[in-house]
Structure 1
C-alpha cells in the first residue's frame, strides 16, 4: 500500500498538455450566454444576480484548466466554498455544472501531488458545505459520487494515453530495427560486393587490365544500386516522397543470386516444394536471409569454390539452407560490423522461426533457417 501511495504521489505531470484551442473559446462562448439566459429566465432563483455573477466570474478558468489545473481548481472551489458563507447558499445555476471539467483536467493533466492536493481541497469544500447546511446530505453524497467518477474517468484516459504512447514508442523501435536490418541486408550486400570486386581488380590489374576494367564496371553498377536504395530509404524517412511501392523480393527472386562472379565461388540455387501462397513477410525474410548468407560466404569463406542455396517448403514450414565448402580453420566474423548473424537471428525470431549458423563437421559453413509458413509473433 505504501508503494502504491508513493507511486501516485511521485507521478509526474502528463507530458505535452494541449494548449488553448478554438474549442476552449467555443466552450466559454457557449457557457456565458447560457448562464445569462438562465439567470434572467428562471423565476425560482433566490439570488439570480449572485448566482450569475459567480458563474460568469469563474468561467475563464476553463481556458487554463490543462496548463494550470491545480490553480484553477483552487480558485473555483475556494470561491464556491467561501461565497456561501456570506450569501447563505450555493450558486443555483445549472450552468455551473461546467466546474466538473476542472477536477477531470486536474487528474488528466496534473502531477500526483497536484491531484492529491486538489482532491483534498474538493472534498474539504463538499464537507464544509454539508457541515454549514449549504448542501443537504443527499446532495453532498451525490457530489462525492460525481467527483470520484470524474477522477476515475480522467485517470482512465490518462493511462490509456500512456499505453498508446508506449505502443507508439515500441512501434518506432521496431521500425528502427527493421530499417537497420534492411540497411544491413541490402546496402551492406552491395558494399560487400564492391569490396570483393575491388580486391579482385587489384589482384589482376597488372596481368589482366581488361579484367580490372570489368571489375570497375561491376563496382559502378553495385554502387548505383546501393545509392538508389539508400536514397529510397532516406526519402521515406524524411517523408519527402511516398514510399517505393515496388513489391519486396520473395523466394523466386533468390534465383538471381545464382551464378559465378570470378574470382568468387559458384552459387547454386535450388527451390523445392510448394512455394505458392507463401505470405509476403515470410518470402521477403527468406530472400533477405539467403542474400545475407551468400554475401557472408563470398566475403569470408576462404578458398571456397561453391555456395549451395536450398529452399524447401511444405505445408507447415519453409526451410533455407546455405552452405559452402570454404576453409573452417578460423572462426568467421558474424557479418559486416558483427551484426550479420545477429540481424538474421532477429529477423527469423520475429516470425516465430529459428536461424542457426556454424562450421560443418568437415569443411565449410552452413546457415540453417526454419520459418513457419504462417508467421507468428515470437
Structure 2
C-alpha cells in the first residue's frame, strides 16, 4: 500500500489552500477530488468577491477568518500577480428603517476589526454612483474582486512545487485509523478501488463533507452537522455596466444570503445575484421564470435597468448548516479535540465568505498539524 503524509479530500479553494499550507511542513501530500478539475463546485460558482468581514458575528470563525483572510488574499494576489482589484462596495438603504440596519452592520463591522467603512447620504451616494437609487449607504473600500480560477491554479501550482499530487475523478469511499495511520479507500477513474495509508486526513469536501464524514470509522454521528443545500442564481447583463463599485442591498434575514447584488468580473461584465433557494438535491438549473423577481430586486437600486438585457446565467450551491428560517451558523473546523480521533481535521459549512477566508482557514488547519 502506498503511504503519504496527508490526504486532502476536496480540491476547492479551501482544500487547495490547505494543501499549499501543509505542504510546507509535510511531504507527499495528495489532494483527491471526484471531479476532473479543481474548484468544480462552490468555488467556481460564486461572485468572486473579496469580502471585508462586515456581516458576521464577532468572535466567530466566519468573522475572524474573513478579516484575516482578506489581508492574506490581497497580499497573495499582489505577490503572485493574480488578477484582482479593490473595487469597493456600496451597501444601500432604501428607507430610514434600513438605515438602522446599516448602523447595526456598521457596529458589527467595527467589532470585527473592519474600521474603514464610510457613511454616505443620498447626495454623496449620487456622486459615487449617479444611476443608483438610495436613501443612504455604507461604502466598503476594502471589498474587492479576483480571478478565482487563477487564484486556485496558483495555489495548486505552489502545492505541486512542494511535491503535492492532485488526483481528479477520484471518489473518497471510506477511512479507518489503523495503529498509526489512516487507511483511505477510494474509487479510481476506471472504477477500480484503491487504498492509501496516510498520517493525516483532511476532510475539506465542501458539499460532500458530511457524506465523507459518515464514511470515517469512529466519528460520532452527532458531530456531523446537518447539510442544507441552498442554491443561488445569477443573471447576466448584456448592456453597458454603469457601476464603478459592487452594489449590495441590506442582507437577507438571518444572513441566508446577502441579497441580489450587482457584481462584475475583472473585465467589467455586469451580473446580478445570488438569490437564496433551499433545494433537496444537487441541481444547477437556472429557471428563467426567476427573472421577474430579479427585476424587482434590481430596480430598487437601479431604476434604469433594461429588462430585455437581463438573461439567466448560472447558479451555485452553498453547503449551509442552517435550516430554512434558522439563525446563521458558523464555519466548523473539527480536530481530535472534538471527535477524539488522531490526525483528522474536518471542515463543515464552508460557504461565503469561504473564498475570502481560504488562506486563513488553511492557516488554522496548518497550525493544528504543526502543533502535533
- Whether these two folds match at TM > 0.5 is no
TM-score, structure 1 as length reference: 0.18
**Which protein shows a greater Rg?**
1
TM-score, structure 2 as length reference: 0.18
Which structure shows the bigger proportion of residues in helix conformation? 1
Higher RCO (CA 8 Å, separation ≥ 6 residues): 2
